């Protein structure tokens, strides 16, 4: 009897944990499963930045704005400190092409009410005093981004969900689904079978594989992103800084090709988080390729050369899901009653509170404040395989 739930969540990253909290708050008897520990996937690998400037600028606007707004009350709602603080977002521009791309973005952001400024190189020192700007044309700057502590956000959600009855199953892989007449009845796991009429996949880079178990060829691919953290130093980096080259290349990375861009932030404890190199892969090995660390280092030392002597404490790699059109997969799976999906968000932290709320609304009322029409999974079915 213990193994019957109203809802089962597969994947205990940001998204799964937010959904767990909201479903338990709505009174649903809920279980969460992860093949590893809590936050075993990409959610343990990130900087916790609440990123706005890099948002997809058409169909994701409402989602990003609604998600961002929920952070204002999140610590009160959870009664949990998640380390929320405001930091700026800075995109240094290295050439004319990047300037033209970011000028266009700035106009588009302005149109939707997000104020950002193009700053000339000579004025950059006011915003980021230690940034060596000699090879830059300037930067796009948005002063109201944010940062949270990833572990506190995930821990806060799971602790509060547990108080409302969440059952957790870690190191338990979901390896099949119990289907009857195109309805989901439960999941098959390495610890046995569990029943529920609603199952939500929050499985990030692993989603394609799970789709195949139910005959859905979702075209979810992923990049392996690498980053590192240094020993702590006095506070020197004020913003989250990411190369504008990212917008020149787009998010498309050719399989096997390592691409390095600068992405740098400083944590409240003084550690400098430096990334990232990435390559599209067809494996989940989390080793850091030998070429990654020099590639990352070359990117950031161009702008912060005085940090050369800093010791690197740790480096890591994680798989981040992507479906190619910059939009997530969010909502019910067609022709399979009871199965839902919530994954592949371009910037996950900013929409984490909203996704939990949205899935809880859909499961309990059949509707949601957020219009999910553009995010339904059928759009990315790969017919070629």
Ligand X SMILES: Cc1cc2nc3c(=O)[nH]c(=O)nc-3n(C[C@H](O)[C@H](O)[C@H](O)COP(=O)(O)OP(=O)(O)OC[C@H]3O[C@@H](n4cnc5c(N)ncnc54)[C@H](O)[C@@H]3O)c2cc1C
Classify residue 310 by its DSSP letter.
P
Q: Is residue 356 part of the contact set for ligand X (CB under 6 A)?
A: no
Shortest spacing between CB 160 and ligand X, in angstroms: 17
Q: Residues 20, 82, 174, 341: which binds ligand X (CB under 6 A)?
A: 174
The sign one gets for the Cα dihedral 297, 102, 325, 253 is negative
Q: Is residue 262 part of the contact set for ligand X (CB under 6 A)?
A: no
Nearer to ligand X, 92 or 138 (CB): 92
Taking alpha carbons only, the member of 77, 87, 99 closest to residue 18 is 77
Quote the CA–CA distance of 94 and 335 in Å, as a whole number: 49
The H-or-E segment that residue 163 falls in is helix 150-163
How many CB atoms lie under 10 A from the CB of residue 185?
16
Q: Is residue 49 part of the contact set for ligand X (CB under 6 A)?
A: yes
CB-based contact 11:34 (threshold 8 Å): yes
Q: Residues 30, 43, 245, 368: which binds ligand X (CB under 6 A)?
A: 43
Nearer to ligand X, 138 or 146 (CB): 146
Q: Which range touches ligand X (CB under 6 A), out of 30-38, 302-310, 329-337, 377-385?
A: 30-38
Q: Is residue 64 part of the contact set for ligand X (CB under 6 A)?
A: no
Report the residue closest to ligand X, judged by CB: 13
Q: Which range touches ligand X (CB under 6 A), out of 23-31, 60-68, 197-205, 286-294?
A: 197-205
Q: Which range touches ligand X (CB under 6 A), out of 63-71, 231-239, 304-312, 342-350?
A: 342-350
Shortest spacing between CB 240 and ligand X, in angstroms: 7
Q: Is residue 327 part of the contact set for ligand X (CB under 6 A)?
A: no
Rg (CA), the chain: 21
How far is the first Cα of the chain from the last one, in angstroms, to the nearest whole number?
40
Q: Is residue 210 part of the contact set for ligand X (CB under 6 A)?
A: yes
Q: Is residue 241 part of the contact set for ligand X (CB under 6 A)?
A: no
Interface positions, 216-235, toward ligand X (CB under 6 A): 225, 227
* Residues making contact with ligand X (CB under 6 A): 10-16, 33-36, 40-43, 45-49, 51, 173-174, 202-206, 210, 225, 227, 275-276, 318, 320, 343, 345, 347-349
């Amino acid at each position: 009897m213990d193994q019957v739930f109203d809802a089962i969540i597969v994947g205990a990253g940001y998204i799964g944990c937010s959904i767990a909290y909201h479903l338990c708050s709505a009174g649903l008897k809920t279980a969460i499963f992860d093949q590893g520990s809590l936050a075993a996937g990409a959610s343990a690998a990130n900087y916790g930045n609440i990123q706005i400037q890099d948002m997809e600028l058409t169909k994701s606007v409402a989602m990003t704005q609604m998600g961002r707004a929920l952070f204002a009350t999140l610590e009160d709602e959870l009664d949990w400190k998640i380390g929320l603080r405001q930091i700026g977002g800075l995109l240094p521009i290295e050439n004319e092409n990047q300037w033209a791309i970011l000028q266009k973005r700035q106009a588009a952001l302005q149109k939707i009410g997000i104020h950002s400024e193009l700053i000339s190189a000579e004025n950059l020192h006011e915003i980021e005093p230690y940034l060596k700007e000699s090879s830059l044309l300037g930067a796009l700057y948005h002063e109201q981004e944010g940062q949270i502590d990833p572990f506190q956000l995930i821990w806060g959600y799971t602790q509060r969900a547990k108080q409302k009855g969440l059952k957790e199953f870690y190191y338990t892989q979901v390896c099949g689904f119990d289907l009857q007449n195109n309805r989901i009845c439960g999941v098959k796991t390495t610890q046995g079978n569990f029943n529920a009429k609603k199952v939500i996949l929050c499985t990030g880079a692993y989603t394609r594989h799970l789709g195949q178990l139910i005959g859905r060829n979702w075209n979810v691919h992923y990049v392996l992103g690498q980053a590192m953290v240094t020993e702590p130093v006095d506070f020197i980096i004020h913003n989250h800084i990411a190369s504008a080259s990212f917008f020149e290349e787009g998010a498309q990375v050719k399989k096997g090709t390592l691409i390095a861009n600068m992405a740098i932030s400083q944590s409240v404890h003084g550690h400098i988080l430096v990334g990232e190199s990435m390559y599209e892969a067809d494996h989940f090995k989390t080793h850091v390729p030998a070429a990654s660390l020099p590639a990352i280092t070359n990117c950031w030392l161009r702008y912060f050369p005085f940090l050369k002597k800093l010791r690197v404490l740790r480096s890591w790699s994680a798989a981040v899901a992507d479906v190619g059109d910059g939009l997530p997969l969010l909502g019910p799976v067609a022709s399979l009653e009871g199965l839902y999906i919530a994954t592949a968000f371009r910037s996950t932290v900013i929409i984490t509170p909203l996704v939990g709320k949205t899935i809880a609304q859909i499961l309990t009322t059949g509707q949601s404040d957020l219009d999910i029409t553009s995010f339904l999974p059928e759009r990315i079915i790969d017919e070629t395989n």
